[in-house]
Structure 1
Amino acid sequence: MKRFLLFLLILVMACTFIGCGEKPSVGDGKVQVIVSKGFGNEKLSEKAVDVAKDTTVIEVMEENFNIETAYGGGFINGIDGLKSEFTGLKKKKKIDWFYYVNGILSEVGADEYYLNPNDLVIWDYHDWDNNIYGSSIIGAYPINFTNGHDGNIYPIQILYTKRYAKEGNALLKYLKDQGVKDIELVDLEQGELENLEKNSIVIGSWEELKKINYIKEFYENGNKCGLYFKVDEEIKGLNNKGETLKTYEKGAVVASVVKEYGGAASMWLVTGNDESSIKKAIKLLYENPEKIKGRFSVLVTEKEVINIPIKN
């Protein structure tokens, strides 16, 4: 009996140190990869994959997708058979692959960006003929706020106008529950919207927000920074060339821009021309965030949530 108990003790100790009946760990965490085309309008693939420490974007892609590289291996020229229509061709079209880590367009080659557990990488195949890149997209929410980009995790201010205080508080609670530590809810008039070391989520009607010069400047240059909507008496969804494709009497948008070129701090706008639509758009962020996953920005109406820019 003593010999049997001694054997059990040794067995338990062995299982504790080397694992018993379990596969060895294959990495330090997981990252998500979404592959899409047309500015998030068509999702082609989505995978959650294991990563070890110091894993680059290119390594994840090599191990989990059929890729073709160019320019020394740091540039992805093709994914699962869908190839650049520019690189190495005589009849060139400006259509290529672009990648975003946690919602921010990366400015380094895929072989130079080192991933962290829970990062979300979006590869999108799209036209850049008008040289509009849209450096910030909403499709990595809420990971863009919890993980940041390239090690930069910024504090967050939720800036709201008074009629959206209830929804602002619910959004604050949701993001805290997701692990965001440095976040505050502030009246729009008291906020630090132009602070380049803070992410801003701005909630209010377009009638209110268009009076703020900082926001107005981005809006008026939307074709350069990737804002694909217009608001007047109606709300309009644009394509990537800035042309109106859909018009609604009432609606709201959720969109984002980087505050400065090359930066990672972003300004999110939750706005529109209808109070109930704006509240619906805010609730999307704390009740149904999966509905915006992988999207560039969205237009929210009474009946639908559509990706913008809109596909031609």
Structure 2
Amino acid sequence: MKRKDWLLLVLAVVLIGGIGFGMLQYRLSHQQPDSPQMSEGANKPAAQSGPAVQLWITRDFGAQTLTVQRVPLEPGDTVMDILKRHGGEVKTAYGGGFVESIQGLASAYRPGDEKSRKLDWFYSVNGLMADIGAAEYALAPGDVVWWDYHDWSFAAAAPAQVGAYPQPFVQMAGKAGAEIAIMAEDGYDGKARQVAEMLKKLTGKAPQVIAWDESAFRQEKALLVIGEAKQLAASPFLQALWKEKATSGLFADLSDRGIQAYDEQGKAGRLYDQKGAGALLATVHPEFRLPLWIAAGVGAEGVDQVVQVLNQERAGQPDDRVRGHYGLIVNGNDTIPLPLPSGAGGAP
């Protein structure tokens, strides 16, 4: 397939994803909601042994933490079961399949009301937004369940987050026939091998390390790409993704000038152009819906900074700097979560 045809296919799939989200909203707007029901067993103490999952409840793209706890997993438990038992006060609507409110934070969007704000709860499992309802998603031991309350007026979908690292790759490693690859720009194969060694340690499966090849984006595998911002910015595939930030959930893009960060409304904030700045971003492949991560830096120093985040361990666990964020900028000693808060054009 010619490069131009491939890019057109990518854009078409991304647009279809956005349309699918719109259809979901249409369906919700044409149903009559049930009376919200209070969850049973809220604030039940969590067991300290046996099968368990992590439950995270945050708001504003992870900016504020409401709940982080390890909770017991019972046979047949779904995301909704875990939330109702351990998420505090939970109210649901639409037959119990839609979360109306958690801990007093309620959906603000009202179909047909132009004055209502697009504020709702969204959930992901292991750093990937699910494509089925919370009452249908069956959990496995070790899963990370993440509920976040945020404004979706710009980002109608944020299909992946870096904050549950390394869970997306752990899940891929556990699937028969699934492939994980780390693709490095020229000069960064050594950094790619370092990350591969860490992922092997964390997941039990060694990823492939491959040289840069644009055709790799047409292969069905989880992919982490590493390189300088100016190098990655030249990729036609990545350029197509950045043009669809509202559905790819990427709150930064790359250019030969550096790393441009965006706020939750999609407005450009600070441009990180000094050597040593780096970005860690996550989305999914628009066709295969598999993890697609980007580790980019301004100069070799920036690439080194973001690779250190992926490789850093504390007490056998990944670096805390990445936990609970949708994306991340590393700027010297500072770590800046993405998206930026609204109007944060002068973020550090």
Q: Give 1:257's aligned residue.
A: 283
Q: Which residue in the other structure is 1:296 paired with?
A: 326
Structure 1 residues 267 and 36: CA distance shift in structure 2, 3 A? same
What one-letter code is carried by the residue in structure 1 that aligns with 2:121? W
Change beyond 3 A, Cα 1:169–1:135: same
SS of the counterpart of 2:203? coil
RMSD: 2.5
- The 1:114–1:26 alpha-carbon spacing in structure 2 relative to 1, beyond 3 Å, is farther
Q: Are 1:92 and 2:122 matched, yes or no?
A: no
Once the two structures are superposed, the pairs formed by residues 1-312 of structure 1 within 5 Å of their partners are 29-65=51-87, 66-86=89-109, 92-130=116-154, 132-148=156-172, 154-181=178-205, 183-189=207-213, 192-195=216-219, 197-232=220-255, 233-250=257-274, 251-260=277-286, 263-288=288-313, 289-312=319-342
Indicate how the Cα distance of structure 1 residues 154 and 77 shifts in structure 2: closer, same or farther if over 3 A, else same. Answer: farther
Partner amino acid, structure 2, of 1:39: F
- Distance in 2 of aligned mates of 1:179 and 1:269: 19
After TM superposition, the structure 1 stretch with the greater mean CA deviation from structure 2, 158-167 or 139-148, is: 158-167
Are 1:113 and 1:150, in contact at CA under 8 Å, matched by a contact in 2?
A: no
TM-score (norm 2): 0.76
Amino acid at match of 1:32: Q
- Gapped regions of structure 2 (runs ≥ 5): 1-46, 314-318, 343-348
Structure ID, larger Rg: 1
Runs of 4+ in 1 over 4 A off after TM superposition: 25-28, 87-91, 148-153
1:164 deviates by 2.1
Structure 1: state its 5+ residue gaps: 1-24
Which is further off, 161-170 or 119-128?
A: 161-170
Per-residue Cα deviation, 1:48-87 (whole angstroms, up to 9, x for no partner)? 1110222101110111122111111121111111111125
When normalised by structure 1's length, the TM-score is 0.84
**CA displacement at 1:131 relative to structure 2:** 5.0
Percent identity, aligned pairs only, is 25
Query: Offset of 1:190 from its aligned partner?
Result: 8.2
Asked if the contact 1:102–1:149 (Cα under 8 Å) also holds between the matched residues in 2, the reply is no
> Following TM superposition, by how much is the alpha carbon of 1:148 offset from its aligned partner in structure 2, in angstroms?
4.5
Contact residue 201 and residue 269 of structure 1 kept, 8 A: yes
1:112-136 deviation line (CA, Å, top 9, x unaligned): 0000111001111011123521111
